[in-house]
Structure 1
Amino acid sequence: MFADQLDPEAQRFPWLGRVWFFSRVGLILLALLAVKLLVHRMGWEVLDPNLLLPALVASEVFLLGFLLNGILMDYKESEKIPGELAAALECLAMEVRSIRELHPEAEVVGSLALLVRFSEELLAWMKHGGLDTRLLDCLDELQRSIQQLGIWLAAPLQARLLLELANIRRALYRIEVIREITFVPTVYWMAYAGTGFLIGGLILTEIEPFGESLFFIAVISFLLIKLLLLIADLDNPFARGEVMSVENVSLLPVSLAIRRLQDLVEAA
């Protein structure tokens, strides 16, 4: 409930993406089984069971495991980014707010307001994507405002604030890279081609009894197709704005930081 209040979009139809995910797998699986039935009735099963078939299955599983392992590394890194951004935003706010305690005449409300506006733009961008100049311009404006506060800051503190801004900028570009760049596209093509050849081979192979062959084809196809779709979804962990995306990192730390920054500006 608390998460819903911070981020109303976080729990909007949470089941819809998963239902669509399994529906896609089910529809593809039904189509493959229908093709297998047609091939069996028409006598087009031109291949015989071969000892190389288990080797083909093992090689495809190895390839998918390699791909999934690489995707999970990026996903685990992505899980840390919202927390790091939230910490950097709150650190900036607290340091800027502390200037008023040492120099009551310092005007920090404008910088804090810019920080809140940038944080809100950041959260909207993390949800819906599309890195544009508006977000970067807002960050540039925030940096200029903090640099102007340097007349009241000691050099080490000013350097610390600029370092936090640099970390935020670095995180923005890292998110964009994770979103837009597919993990090793050649391996993706190999995985899709291998899955296609394997399932096609199973469909064209005459395996008796026929009922058991349908069962094994259904299970193997289900696991391979589901894993391929899951890998494609994990490849972009910042796709919460897409209704059909299933596995995404939590943006709750950023939402919580924005709420705290808003309270800080109101108190200032």
Structure 2
Amino acid sequence: MGRRVFLSGLAAGATAALLPVSHAVARSALDDLRIQRLAWAGIRLQLPGATLFIDPLTNAAEWGGALPDVLVPVEGGIGDTTVLLTHVHSDHFDAGAVAQALRNGGSLIYPEGTHPLPVPAGARARPAPLWEPQLLGDFTATAVPASDGYGDTQVSWVVSAAGRRIFHGGDTMWHGHWWKIGRQFGPFDVAFLPINGARFGWRTPVSGQPGVLTPEQAIAAATVLGARNVVPIHYGISGVDAYQEVDHPLGALIRVARGTAIEVQSVQPGAWVAWR
């Protein structure tokens, strides 16, 4: 009986000693991933030995003075570097920004059925089919369905790294795939979602319908995805002919999120996401 008590005490002590260490290791791993918001719809995901960009934009001529965002430099990625594109419209595929990000080599991953050119010298480029995980060193990225306002090929991205899972919506509009994405990959630590509900007048006849998520639709998408936090992207344009945002998109997003379990974190270009 004495031996049993002795061994039981050893086991309990070992368990107690291991638990704090395990928790500390898990917390350290979670903290390894840092995410910086770039201009417009772009973000940088940073690990100690790898960098991943989504839709980086540094071209001042793209929106001119209509976009108030600071254009954040993207050169100098740490370790293995990858650029993901949601689609090839020029405000999401900025060839100059991609060349800066991949100046030391790396990979450009783009939606299957699109052909972003030019590809930077020394970089690898390949298409990503929907639902097929891309193993990118310390990152895993999966292209999932999105819907473009003009019907052009577009994807959203699910990225996993260091025990975190994030969603990047590009400039998608509302569609019916949110539930499947949420079931397959949710919940998400953070979703980067467009919120300006833009209406376009560049093609006729003009529909008058939003071709990008509105603030209400962004919160609905986050709810279905199981996103704990939303970082709004793709908003702030003014003074462009035939391009009309909803009024005060950020304020509207915050109002819609009240009373839900979703936290809105407004992150200025150049700043980093704060993990809750």
TM-score (norm 2): 0.28
Structure number with the bigger relative contact order (C-alpha 8 A, sep ≥ 6) is 1
Where is the helix percentage greater, Structure 1 or Structure 2?
1
Where is the strand percentage greater, Structure 1 or Structure 2?
2
TM-score (norm 1): 0.29
